[in-house]
Amino acid sequence: MRAFFISLLTLFAACASAIAACENVPIEVQEYLRSEPDWSFVDVKDLVADDRSLWKRAHDGHCPGIAIVDLDGMGQSYALALLRASGRQTIEKLVVVRRQSGRLTGQVLDPPMRVKHEDAAAPFVVWRAGPDTYRDLMSGRQVTLAHDGIVYQKMEAMATMYYFSNGGFGSISTSE
C-alpha cells in the first residue's frame, strides 16, 4: 500500500510543472482565445496516460497546447494546439498567434481535424524547435532554421515542423 501511495505522489509531482505551465497563459493567448470562445488549448489533462508520461519526459515544465516561439527574430509568437468538443466529437487545429502592426492575428497552420476516436481523444501537442538543420523524413530535403520552428506532434506517431521563411510558412515531416 505504501509503494502505491508513493507512486501516486510521484505521478502528481511529475504532472505539476506542466499543469502550472498551462495555468500561466500569456496575455496574448488569453486575448486570442476570447475571439475563439468555443476553443481551448490542449492541456495536460487532455492527454491519455501514455502521452502524458511521454510529454513529461520530453517537455517537462511546458504546456502541450502552447509553444512560445520566435519565428523571424521580430519577437514572440504563440503556436496553439486548440481543441473544441462538440457532443461526441472532438476536433483540433493548430494556430499561430502574432502581433502584427499592433494588432493580434491568428493564422491557421493545420485546419480542424477530428482527434477523438472511439471514446478517447488523442490530441496533438505543440512544442518549440530551436534554430538548427532538420531533415524531412519523406523527401530527405534539409531545412536550416535561423529562428524557431513549431512542431505539431501526435505522440508516438507523427510530427510536422512548421517554419517561417520568406514571409510565409513551410513544413516538413520530422517523424512518422
| Strand residue runs (E) in the chain | 40-41, 66-69, 77-86, 89-100, 103-114, 116-117, 120-121, 125-129, 133-135, 142-144, 149-154, 158-165, 168-175
**58-75 pLDDT, tens digit each:** 999 999 999 999 999 988
| Mean pLDDT (whole number) for 153-157 | 90
Question: pLDDT value at position 5?
Answer: 34
Q: How many domains, the chain?
A: 1
| Mean pLDDT (whole number) for 102-125 | 86
Distance CA 40, CA 84 (A): 7
Question: pLDDT value at position 126?
Answer: 98
Question: pLDDT value at position 7?
Answer: 37
Domain that holds residue 96: 2-175
| Mean pLDDT (whole number) for 44-52 | 91
Confidence tier at 17 by pLDDT (50, 70, 90):
very low
32: pLDDT strictly greater than 60: yes
